[in-house]
Structure 1
């Protein structure tokens, strides 16, 4: 295989997997309600399962149990809003903290981020509407796609070689630029205020940090992928780590400022 062919060897499975996920996600976002909650609960619990498998490979039953707790927490919190998320969500990171592996603290932080993101995605769709949800997903996808192509075509200095050796500065900055143009598109279409043009690259960067955080964890445990569930992408966490980082930032920002889109 030539160097050029090897550079693009993962493109076809990535595209096919992405198309399937986009189709499923679009239908679920449009349906909303319990259908969307079921999808978010499934994705969140699978990511928690993958994280538990990474940090506890010799305890598969424990991984399933923690994933079950994560699913139950989301269903209880969103299905019965009288139960506060802050009462049930700590059960998941506490389960990671109780495990004997050295990565327990990092895993607990990542588990907290995943749970916050799962909760936030449902709240964003329910309270801000479809436009806000599509904007967030668009920022993550555009940033990833722009980073993928710019990084492979332009190359250049690595962003954080010790943790993510494939991520380049050219790809990182291209992701920010793509996110800004996506924000501009939402402004032109009348779905957002101009502030979203500034916010979009910041959210894209948060997504990139989510990707780096997962890469750090995989390096700590010596794993290439979080699992092999998605062809071309590895595991669910490999595909949605950026969405977790982006959603956590959006959740934090909305505690202080109204989101300049949707609502």
Structure 2
């Protein structure tokens, strides 16, 4: 707050650049989702590979070549998995995490767990698009986007107690709760023009929480590695990992639900 009690304009200094780059990412992503097929698959492969590269660079920036080779390995594995038996996906996805962990002298478990999670989440988004179509993948992404956008504005506008200050010092309870409400509203809107039942409302809220946990996990990683952003690829947002950490959390949650609840077409 300013001395006169007005909102501090400095809080919004990054809004313009965040908005422009965010809209550009959203436009390209939505187009790929609507087109589907190999276009969305290759986008998912590319983004996943870049995030694994960013992960490596946060842990061991002194050896960028190894990070690039591991990213290429991720792209190769995922490209093959998209046309292969889904039951074998986990075995092949272990290759890059195991190799990367073996090369590292420190943070082996960190790289292994995050690299594996990133790959599974990226693969899960492709499966979700193939099995349920563009509409429901857009629902998942809109839930994550609403969580992020409304959480950002509510947190900046209202402030208040921190959600988890030791891990994510900027995240507030006001922003967190606003994300849940916004996600539930997205679910309610989809309820109006689809055959989904009322469960979609609370499922959307749970997805919101899962996306926030994805953000928290990446924040914890960055604090552990003592870096501000995963990279500088996206103006106002940092890296792809910074931008898609929430989507990764939501994707992993949906895959977990599929394993436990036996959702037709996704259960494997």
**TM-score, length-normalised on structure 1?**
0.95
SS at match of 2:260: coil
SS at match of 1:256: helix
What does the per-residue CA deviation read over 1:34-57, in whole Å, with 9 as the maximum and x for residues that have no partner? Answer: 111110001000000000111111
Deviates more, 1:121-130 or 1:78-87: 78-87
Match of 2:244 in 1: 240
5+ unaligned residues in a row in structure 2: which ranges? none
Match of 1:92 in 2: 96
Match of 2:231 in 1: 227
Alignment of 1:1-263 (within 5 A): 4-81=8-85, 84-257=88-261
SS at match of 1:167: strand
| Aligned-CA RMSD value | 1.8
User: In 2, are the aligned partners of 1:55 and 1:104 still within 8 Å (CA)?
Assistant: no
SS at match of 1:84: helix
Shift of residue 87, structure 1, vs aligned partner = 2.3
Q: What is the number of residues matched between the two proteins?
A: 261
SS at match of 1:231: coil
Alpha carbons of structure 1 residues 177 and 101: separation in structure 2 relative to 1, 3 Å: farther
What does the per-residue CA deviation read over 1:184-238, in whole Å, with 9 as the maximum and x for residues that have no partner? Answer: 0111112422111011111111111111111111111111000000001000000
SS at match of 2:233: coil
User: In 2, are the aligned partners of 1:46 and 1:236 still within 8 Å (CA)?
Assistant: yes
Shift of residue 6, structure 1, vs aligned partner = 1.1
Shift of residue 79, structure 1, vs aligned partner = 2.7
Shift of residue 5, structure 1, vs aligned partner = 2.1
SS at match of 2:170: strand
Shift of residue 257, structure 1, vs aligned partner = 2.2
Deviates more, 1:47-56 or 1:107-116: 107-116
Alpha carbons of structure 1 residues 258 and 11: separation in structure 2 relative to 1, 3 Å: farther
Q: Which runs of 4+ in 1 moved over 6 A?
A: none
What does the per-residue CA deviation read over 1:146-195, in whole Å, with 9 as the maximum and x for residues that have no partner? Answer: 10000011100001111110000110011001000100011111242211
**TM-score, length-normalised on structure 2?**
0.93
What does the per-residue CA deviation read over 1:62-88, in whole Å, with 9 as the maximum and x for residues that have no partner? Answer: 100110111111100003347821221
